[in-house]
Structure 1
């Protein structure tokens, strides 16, 4: 019985020592509150500064495991960044913030076109649509050509050629 207990303890010790620590970035900020515009940056798990305060206007994501969102200083664009601080792409702006994850995807922008990425930051559907709504379940409503129609202080997208796509980016025929 003692051998079994000793073997179990040694096995657990080896497993604990040999498993790599999860690497991620943690947001830090100056001031009493973390609010839009509060100077912020990111540290790694060792406490090293990876993204210094002031590099971005604001850091949305509190913990970056694979991808986070920040506001660029000069243009005000919302960008996706990885753990190394590499800028991946522009995130679609919705209601004054980054597009929300819906059905596992959020919208991204490149050269004025809209596409979709997942929560890890991987681009799932390359930007190719002039207008694209969030996914609802397995489908999203998109258009290759559309215009923004102003109605008072609100606006909406108008197109005569809306169609639905599935999560592989292909038209569904619906």
Structure 2
């Protein structure tokens, strides 16, 4: 099995491209007030005012997490501090951001973990290793997934056909193939808390998890609590995670349906009227009215606060959002504030 894809298409209208290409810098991760930018194919960092504080010099760079950011140069990756100095030399083929004080790194085909001094604390021995979440890291060995603690000890042996990180004390796991298998939820001892009965599922967020009953074509999505009880019955053709008290939902098919937002009781907060949409972040969500239209931003009442003008949008993080106007060949990307004003643009 290839490495499980963590990132999933959240809405229609080109967001898959957005996830993999536009947001490769990891803008959704923790942020220290510095934002990675690319100029002439080199990465540097700006602050919230748009001032360049680390000059473009890296082949690739991500957002800071726990005080360090991973940066690539000449094909290898290491970690820099907020001055742009390498604290951990670029010697690894792949790395993930620091979380819980450790970072997953890959060399010679195997993954392990280092601390912030660069010391290897869990030997490079795994086929795939993911970021620590709530003190536990997801590991893939062959085609099976399990979990280790921060000493590298297996606390839940590799036994699942698919698995995701622990969130709010539970992790979603799957037994069976992608078409016919079912999802359930385990706790940190590996006990199955919610039985394998869901045809698709997402992580718990704000006390609820969105799950699907039935197949992808005709099944319906609803929300469960940590007892497995439906607190919002399966009634939506698509439903996404609650963030800031609202969840993105779709009424109708993938091709013709419309996206809107519900509140925590399942009531409609913003009418389903959009061709595409994304989660709320810092009180705003990017939405798109038509297939060929542009993206803009609404507030939680549905009011358009930044007009429809962007070809590729992103969530607001620490007061800024990365956007692009135009194509990759001829357009301009940069960061906007919540008035829609550019604080930095690519040259």
Q: Normalised by the size of structure 2, how large is the TM-score? A: 0.27
Tell which structure's C-alpha radius of gyration is larger. 1
Report which of the two has the higher share of strand.
Answer: 2
Report which of the two has the higher share of helix.
Answer: 1
Greater RCO, CA 8 A, separation 6+ = 1
Q: Normalised by the size of structure 1, how large is the TM-score? A: 0.47
